[in-house]
Structure 1
């Protein structure tokens, strides 16, 4: 029996040990912290979770240690002490409960732990079970929720939480309660529909709720009205966000009272309306212009000023209506304003009206900037000052012009004269000052009255204005005195020609009050710089010369310098004689023979004009051709020379004289440029019976190169007729080889200035060689003029020059003498060529 009891006891012990191991394993594997403490408050067991909570690295090291070494809590220790001394029968002190719960921080202070303590029924000593749970996240969530609630209640916006299915408020902040005037309990009995006073508003908000719920981002806004408990209505802006919570569709609505904003917008709209009315009704042009020049805003007055509609202007830039001369200054000022160098600009400028004319405006612009200081636009005020400008111009004209004739007066005359002198000093040219005084004008005033005198003065002013160039100035000094300023004078003769022309224009008959007059005038001329270096001196000396003209019998002109009067008189006599020379058959043509250097034969002759006035010595071309050019007589004279030469050539041919084979005639620049020379040549050849291949026309290179395209067309027409063409004075002007090879030229003529020193000057010799080589490369013949020595001829022969003319062969001679020369020409002159 004892043996059985011992066996049973042993089995019980094994079972208890096994149960204890299972219990310890279960405790060790639990996620919650567990600890067994005996009645002396010493640790019996502790699991891994409890060690982790209280940062214990080795659980075995805690066995037998006081509880306070792990959990330092007076409250916990006091409760355990009371529980230890309680006998369980109600005797002695006891804790308030059989178990307790306590929340405390771990020793590291980072976590919150909830402790629950229970008393185990172990005998004979009590054992306490301490269970620990980490509630840090729960505590943190509660604190965050508390802070969120505090923030929610502190928000200036009302916040509601709405159950979409029930359409009821399930939460709201304090601002919502104060805004709507409800208590929390009252508001929780209501829904959004209870805040919508107007029909249709609830349907509108419900549709918007559905749109937000179905949207991608689950957010949206709406403006609506909310009605307070007291019936007052509030305009509100609602921001909504939809989300799901515990299977329910909820909406957070953040509601802002926009009463103040609506009032501000109304005030702003009213202000903008007043601004637009004032802007459009302003008496001056107003505009906003972008930094790149686009019109952003324009008023009616500006549209009236420039003639465009508002829509037209808004599609343009300011430079589109600005005078081209003003655009550069506008941009320069604009750049300075953008850079902050100046705050505003104010200037007078010109706008182009839609109809094409220009308007003067006074423009003031200020730069409007953003809060960050960046340029936004120019605020511009435009005032039409065209009328003011017109009055200013009229006043300026009155101040500077004669009231009767509208010619410049003495003030403007002196200003322009001073400018002309400055330019003349720079260009080293002359300026002529001509003072014109009408002869016996006082008699007209005295006999017919000042009204008739005024009419005559106005007609004289018109005639003088028609006589001068665009760059000249004509002024009235007063009474019957006029002044003409002619700048850019190259030759004194040109001034004499102008003076004579003025005298002729003045003397044309004039009808006043039924009476015919033949006005005349006396002209005094002074020249800058020889007669004075300033305007006053030149006017005084011109006045002196004018009185000299009066003393000389009136109706003439006088230079202040006596020697110029003599030259001018000689020139006038020469010009006057030229005008009658053709009528009186005073011109003759002499012929200078041209020889083929290789054969020594005379192959042509150049027709040269001579003037033989009756009872006077022969006048050579260098003396009268320039005058004929300036007087416009050269065209008639040139055509006469052409006809005479062609007639003579036909006569030689008819007489059986075959040499010279061709006759050369010079064409002047005026003939070539200002006359249909092709038609003239064709007509002359037809009239005279001269064959085109008998005629050679000589044109200077400067004439053909002045307008190469037009010259080429003319030369080709002449060449197509069969006329020979030659470039005269080659080398003295400018030739473009690209054009020269395009001209139908038969020969080049080396100018006498190169031939003269051809045997002594290396440069002239080189030029002659180059011209000969150039002509031959272009398949042209070369003729040298001005050959006077055998050495010159020998040089030209050596360089294989084709032809020559000059005093070595013969001077220009009459036609009959040339015939004799051709007949008697021997081969002596050409003997050096026998070796060829």
Structure 2
């Protein structure tokens, strides 16, 4: 009896019941009181444990005996597996939530745990719901009363449904386009590599088509992004209808699709395939505001002629597509090696041009415009020149200006020109040369930036210049395609006295009805008409008509490209106002212009 009491006291101390000093009126508890206290503590502990299990909404706990019969089933288990505690109680676990293919392995693992002490490892599983559906869980097992005749086992399952769903969503986003549900470019490239291996084994060819919808941004702007998305979904559906099971398709970018056609390698078959794709585009698309017709630029690359890897074939089809876009809406180009070589050369030139501004390789030359009657220099046109530091010659403007427009670098170049012209004109004004205006060219790409004209006005103000000191030259195509806000700004500049000329008149849309709507003060007739006017009656008639119409509309007319006395005599007869060309002056740097303006400022021969 003494030994038992001693062991009880030791156990009580272990669980936290300590002997303390005796307070007044203390009565020594009997062993029966101690046992009752321990029993209450155990019951309270068990209640706290059950409350804890019931308070974990995402943690399902099932307790079962050595025969795997359920003795405990919390509310989270009901939520996760669909069985109530009453339905689950007394049934074997394998009859409730264990899938058939896991049944034998689970029973053997349970036996090994009880008899051999081999713990069941924690792992991710897919168990069975009451409905038969699979439930992803992370399952962990705990045994109480191990090495006894009545061990109690608890299976603790954490619901992974949200995580699995997130993984599936991530996998979808990683491999598929959310709008069209087509494979994205990365997934397409992976699939294409597998197809190419098969083509290589069979010694078969393959055709890749890269398609880019023309002016899709305008569709979004005019009709809204929702309508633009509907068009893309419909286009993807149509293109998919024309494909065979072995063919591949991807939405490579916003309005770009790339397709691969294994086994299509004969010229006749390729032509037929391209024709089918083009026919798909020709059918109108039904939109909320009515029918809409679209075109697309297409580039084609062939395996194995234009590449042996998926990445190379896609890139070369893309290169051909970009080349096709230069031909206008609906362009089609087959890849040729010189396209890629030219692209590489242009990219290097863009990089060099970016550095040219920092290295001060850019300069401005000025070409005078003279009065046809008096020969006096009236105005100057600023022309951009680029001479690389390691070269003794200039890069032709025709090469780098168009490249700057395509690459977006034209904005930096345009800002530099604007700043430099204003700086130079202010210097000439301080030197006393106050008669000549300087005109600058603004490209279509520059005018797409809404603040271009505001920057122009700010530059004038910064250098203390008036609206009459700097003029603007725009092509008629730029004016026709200009946004309403741009035209509004041009009208404001026009009323402030800024000279606005239509450059290269006659080479764009050449719709005379536009002239009465545009805020312009001058026409510059393109040099192509001037070159052939002395010998070609048609060009002479166009020149004469342009001068006549310009004068009737109150516009100043400038003839570009005057290079001979014969041409000068002709435009004098036509009463043209100003002439510009090598017959008078070549473009020259600012110091030479200053010497010229400091002399007679006139021309004579």
What TM-score comes out, normalization by structure 2 length?
0.49
Higher relative contact order (CA 8 A, sep 6+): 2
So what's the TM-score if we normalise by structure 1?
0.36
Larger-gyration structure (1/2):
1
Which of the pair is proportionally richer in strand? 1
